[in-house]
Amino acid sequence: MTPTLTPTTSAAPPFAGDRCDRCRAQARVRVVLAGGGDLVFCGHHARVFDTRIREVAVEVVKADD
């Protein structure tokens, strides 16, 4: 029996044109949710909601500086 490989994908970091879902500032963090959706936050809102993000996120990807 041949083992089946399941490809894994990693979410892309926020792009320069992505805007925070709270205030429309440039997004710095992408939060991937279990249901398959994602949210993007500026640095400020990522810090404000850090505890809640860690509770619900499947993956958190920060923008490259």
Give domain status of residue 58, yes or no.
yes
Q: Is 55 helix (H, G, I), strand (E, B) or coil?
A: helix
Query: Is 2 among the domain residues?
Result: no
Give the domain extent around 53. 13-65
Task: Report yes or no on 1 lying in a domain.
Answer: no
Domain assignment present for 37: yes
User: How many domains does the chain fold into?
Assistant: 1
Burial of 4 (0-12, 13-18, 19+ CB in 10 A): exposed
- Is residue 56 in some structural domain? yes
Residue-wise pLDDT tens for the chain (65 aa)? 555 544 456 789 999 999 999 999 999 999 999 998 999 999 999 999 999 999 999 999 999 86
pTM, rounded to two decimals: 0.81
Compute CA 33 distance to the chain's CA centroid, rounded to the nearest angstrom.
Answer: 8
